[in-house]
């Protein structure tokens, strides 16, 4: 698959809005975009044979992960149900013997 095709597929997944939406919807769309970017940069890093290119791509992917967490923090502040369900998920994982932070 060519890079152009990968980018086209990635951007098709990002929800398109013709008018501004709620802040929570915007944050969710931003999280989706960042997650797609992470996947793309990590894929490209696996494909390159150039060590320097790989290093930069992985560094950028890491920065995108920071952006995801920043958006999630904002989403938790604005959407009480999101925070509540996150805590519920942590408890369910712990009940299965999976430690969470």
For residues 14 and 12, what is the distance between their CA atoms, to the nearest angstrom?
6
For residues 76 and 94, what is the distance between their CA atoms, to the nearest angstrom?
21
**pLDDT tens profile 50-101:** 999 999 999 999 999 999 999 999 999 999 898 889 889 989 999 999 988 7
Distances (CA, A) of 38 to 15, 33, 50, 55, 77: 17, 9, 19, 14, 24
**pLDDT tens profile 38-55:** 999 999 999 999 999 999
Q: What is the pLDDT of residue 19?
A: 56
φ, ψ of residue 19 to 5 degrees: the values are -130, 160
Cα distance from N-terminal residue to C-terminal residue, the chain: 37
Q: What is the pLDDT of residue 86?
A: 87
Q: What is the mean pLDDT of the chain?
A: 88
pTM over 0.85: no
């Amino acid at each position: 698959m060519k890079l152009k095709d990968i980018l086209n597929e990635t951007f098709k997944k990002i929800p398109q809005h013709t008018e501004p939406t709620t802040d929570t919807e915007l944050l969710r769309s931003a999280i989706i975009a960042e997650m797609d970017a992470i996947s793309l940069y990590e894929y490209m890093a696996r494909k390159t044979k150039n060590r320097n290119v790989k290093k930069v791509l992985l560094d950028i992917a890491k920065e995108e992960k920071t952006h995801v967490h920043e958006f999630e923090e904002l989403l938790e502040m604005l959407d009480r149900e999101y925070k509540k369900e996150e805590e519920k998920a942590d408890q369910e994982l712990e009940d299965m013997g999976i430690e969470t932070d």
